[in-house]
């Protein structure tokens, strides 16, 4: 019998039906992605392609990021990366386009890139052309290249066939695939999509799966948290394309990950489809997100935008079982109470500037942030995961990870570079059961990697209190923490502060 049980378990596991992942051992990722920063930063408009076993990411902000597992990304300086870059491998060369009339070419994905020339046979504004805005080169299975681009504002998406012997040359008729449709409410501009006649259609990307071409596009504009991603589908690369019934594909307006759009789809190292996208921070910056894509029985794409830890590519066979189960357990935990103490009896933070209190690092929003006093050498933020009132049972939690988002930068079109100090942050995280005696569970005092988003795995540990202590940060600007999230699950409770009477048995 025991052998039969083990055999059945092995069959279920190989089919991806059993979740055998282990927290603290199997790799996870968390959005926004913790991208390394150099002379460029990953600031949206993300384009990812695979070449010879590695994945190459280009973004607005300059530079490139390289990974073999889509989990660990290494920054590489690449000169001359334009806004909204798109790099396409074709016939042994690498062609870079962006918001420019120029086309660049290189023998290596990381350059150096030189100007090959400008687009030839350029259409006029009647065909939506405006200085090469958000162009995307797609090479079909027969090695025929095509160019897709958005017109200005409500014009929609266009495409044209390119000359295989001169990729800068347009050949054949220009196809207009679709325009802004005010009946698609999510395409409208505004924080509530309240502008019925205004939109900004942009960021086309083509992905083919099981004989269907999926044409992605973004709408409402990157200045809105309603920025979202939709798609059309067709059996032919130049259409006609049909609007997908489950649009939008990506949309989220609340929480840490908002405005998910202008991205790219790629087949991951696990054979599944992965979506990369821009994250619009409500404070004005932009970051990068990624999530798994599935295809339903009707051939529609499905993607759940996440902001909690997920299993990394290759960890879970079944793409519908990607969630590691950890929740954000720190939202709104701005009071610190111990045992018989009253809520708020102790300070949450060691210091704060007026209007920049610690509650803003715990409010699940990037519109606000905590900023300690300039003379606070080692700012601390202490949170109670169970800020009980008199009649509550005091909950305990097992935490397993944390995320830090640091402020700085404007709209997010690149890191300042030059004399600006790279954002190297050092800190430690401690836990406690009583709010008095703390144990260190994470120490990054030796960190040398510059990032403005950091996700840390923490060996699962039970606690009631979590304390963040900042050890070092770039001193050329004030320290601002947009978000400090602690991940985990509730595990139990201690006795109620007020004894709960035992119910009497009924005769």
CATH number, domain containing residue 79: 2.115.10.20
Looking at residue 221, its pLDDT comes to 93
Instruction: Give the pLDDT band of residue 390 (cuts 50, 70, 90).
Output: low
pLDDT of residue 393 exceeding 80:
no
Do 290 and 405 lie in one domain? The reply is no
Question: Where is the domain boundary, 325, 344, 369?
Answer: 325
Which contiguous run of DSSP H or E holds residue 5?
helix 2-14
Sign of the torsion angle spanned by Cα atoms 184, 187, 193, 197: negative
pLDDT given for residue 389 in this prediction: 56
**Does 383 fall in a domain?**
yes
Nearest residue to 325 via CA among 419, 249, 401? 401
Q: What stretch of H or E contains 8? A: helix 2-14
End-to-end C-alpha distance for the chain, whole angstroms: 46
CA 64 to chain centre: 16
Sign, Cα dihedral of 355, 361, 365, 366? positive
Report the pLDDT averaged over residues 386-398: 73
- The pLDDT > 70 percentage for the chain reads 85
Q: At residue 476, does pLDDT exceed 50?
A: yes
**DSSP, res 421:** P
If one compares 501 and 220, the residue with the highest pLDDT of the two is: 220
309-335 mean pLDDT:
87
* Token couple for 269: 């190292």
- 348 in a structural domain: no
pTM exceeds 0.75 for this model: yes
5: in domain: no
Contact at 8 Å (CB) between 242 and 295?
A: no
More confident residue, 318 or 276: 276
Domain boundary among 306, 325, 344: 325
Across the range 189-210, mean pLDDT stands at 97
Q: Which of 141, 156, 284 is nearest to 230 (CA)?
A: 156
* Residues 131 and 276 grouped into a single domain: yes
List 380's β-bridge partners, or say none.
469
162 vs 130: which has the higher pLDDT: 162
Nearest to 334 by CA among 368, 384, 406: 384
Closest CA to 354 of 372, 336, 366: 372
Q: How many domains does the chain have?
A: 2
Cα radius of gyration (the chain): 25
- Residue 187: strand, helix, or coil: helix
Question: How remote is the C-alpha of 60 from its chain's centroid?
Answer: 14
Partners of 280 in the beta sheet?
A: 286
Residues 6 or more apart from 310 whose CB is under 8 A from it?
Answer: 28, 29, 30, 291, 292, 322, 323, 324
Identify which has the larger pLDDT, 195 or 497: 195
371 and 315 fall within a common domain: no
Nearest C-alpha neighbor of 106 from the set 471, 114, 372, 167: 114
> Phi and psi at residue 405, in whole multiples of 5°?
-115, 125
Residue at a domain's end among 283, 306, 325: 325
pLDDT digits (tens, 9 = 90+) for 7-54: 444 443 444 433 468 888 899 999 999 999 999 999 999 999 999 999
Tell whether 507 is covered by a domain. no
pLDDT of residue 172: 83
Q: How much is the pLDDT for 317?
A: 83
pLDDT per position as a tens digit, 261-305: 999 999 999 999 999 999 999 988 999 999 999 999 999 999 999
* The pLDDT value given to residue 502: 58
* Whether residue 298 sits in one domain with residue 166: yes
Predicted pLDDT of residue 17: 37
| Residues 87 and 212 reside in one and the same domain | yes
Least confident of 187-196, 224-233, 347-356: 347-356
Range of the domain at 412: 358-494
* Cβ(422)–Cβ(37) below 8 Å: yes
Q: Is residue 345 part of a domain?
A: no
Write the CATH number for 375: 2.60.120.260
Q: Is the pLDDT of residue 413 over 50?
A: no
Place of tokens 């005092």: 445
DSSP state letters, 46-63: -EEEEETTEEEEE-TTS-
Q: What is the pLDDT of residues 107-118, one digit of tens each?
A: 999 999 999 999
pLDDT tier for residue 392 given thresholds of 50, 70 and 90? low
Q: pLDDT-derived band of residue 347, with 50, 70 and 90 as boundaries?
A: confident
Structure tokens at 503: 């119910």
With 50 as the cut, is the pLDDT of residue 189 above it? yes
pLDDT of residue 147: 96
Q: What is the mean pLDDT of residues 447-473?
A: 96
pLDDT band at 121 (very low <50, low <70, confident <90, very high): confident
> What does pLDDT average to over the chain?
88
CB 236 within 8 A of CB 161: no
Element (H, E) at 9: helix 2-14
Check: CB of residue 397 under 8 Å from CB of residue 464: yes
Question: Which segments of 62-188 are extended strands (E)?
Answer: 64-67, 74-76, 86-90, 93-97, 102-106, 114-118, 136-139, 145-150, 157-163, 166-178
């Amino acid at each position: 019998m025991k052998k039969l049980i083990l055999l059945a378990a092995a069959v279920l596991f190989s089919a991806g039906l059993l979740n055998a992942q282990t927290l603290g051992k199997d790799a996870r990722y968390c959005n926004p992605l913790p991208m390394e920063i150099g002379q460029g930063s990953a600031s949206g408009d993300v384009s990812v392609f695979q070449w010879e076993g590695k994945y190459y990411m280009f973004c607005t902000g300059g530079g490139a990021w390289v990974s073999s597992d889509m989990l660990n990304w290494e920054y590489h300086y690449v000169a001359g990366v334009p806004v909204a870059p798109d790099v396409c491998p074709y016939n042994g060369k690498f062609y870079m386009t962006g918001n420019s009339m120029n086309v660049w070419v290189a023998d290596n994905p990381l350059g150096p890139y030189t100007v090959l020339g400008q687009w030839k046979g350029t259409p006029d504004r009647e065909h939506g052309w405006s200085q090469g805005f958000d162009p995307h080169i797609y090479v079909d299975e027969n090695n025929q290249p095509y160019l897709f681009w958005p017109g200005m504002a409500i014009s929609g998406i266009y495409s044209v066939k390119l000359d295989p012997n001169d990729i800068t040359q347009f050949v054949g008729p220009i196809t207009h695939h679709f325009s802004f449709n005010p009946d698609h409410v999510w395409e409208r501009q505004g924080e509530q999509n309240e502008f019925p006649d205004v939109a900004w259609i942009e960021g086309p990307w083509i992905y083919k799966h099981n004989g269907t071409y999926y044409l992605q596009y973004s709408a409402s504009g990157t200045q809105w948290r309603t920025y979202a991603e939709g798609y059309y589908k067709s059996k032919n690369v130049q259409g006609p394309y049909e609007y997908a019934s489950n649009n939008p594909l990506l949309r989220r307006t609340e929480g840490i990950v908002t405005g998910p759009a202008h991205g790219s789809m790629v087949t991951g190292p696990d054979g599944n489809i992965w979506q990369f996208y821009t994250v619009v921070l409500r404070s004005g910056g932009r970051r990068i997100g990624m999530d798994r894509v599935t295809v339903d029985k009707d051939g529609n794409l499905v993607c759940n935008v996440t902001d909690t830890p997920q299993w990394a590519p290759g960890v879970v066979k079944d793409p519908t079982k990607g969630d590691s189960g950890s929740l954000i357990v720190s939202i709104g935990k701005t009071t610190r109470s111990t045992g018989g103490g009253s809520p708020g009896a102790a300070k949450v933070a060691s210091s704060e500037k007026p209007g920049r209190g610690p509650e803003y690092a715990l409010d699940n929003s990037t519109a606000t942030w905590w900023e300690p006093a300039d003379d606070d050498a080692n700012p601390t933020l202490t949170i109670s995961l169970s800020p009980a009132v008199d009649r509550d049972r005091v909950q305990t939690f097992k935490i397993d990870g944390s995320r830090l988002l640091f402020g700085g930068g404007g709209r997010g079109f690149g890191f300042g570079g030059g004399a600006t100090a790279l954002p190297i942050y050092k800190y430690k995280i401690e836990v406690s059961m009583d709010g008095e005696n703390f144990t260190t569970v994470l120490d990054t005092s030796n960190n040398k990697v510059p990032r403005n988003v950091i996700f840390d795995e923490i060996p699962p540990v039970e606690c009631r209190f979590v304390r963040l202590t900042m050890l070092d940060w770039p001193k050329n600007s004030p320290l601002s923490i947009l978000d400090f999230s602690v991940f985990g699950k509730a595990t139990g409770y201690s006795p109620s502060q007020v004894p709960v009477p035992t119910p009497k048995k009924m005769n």
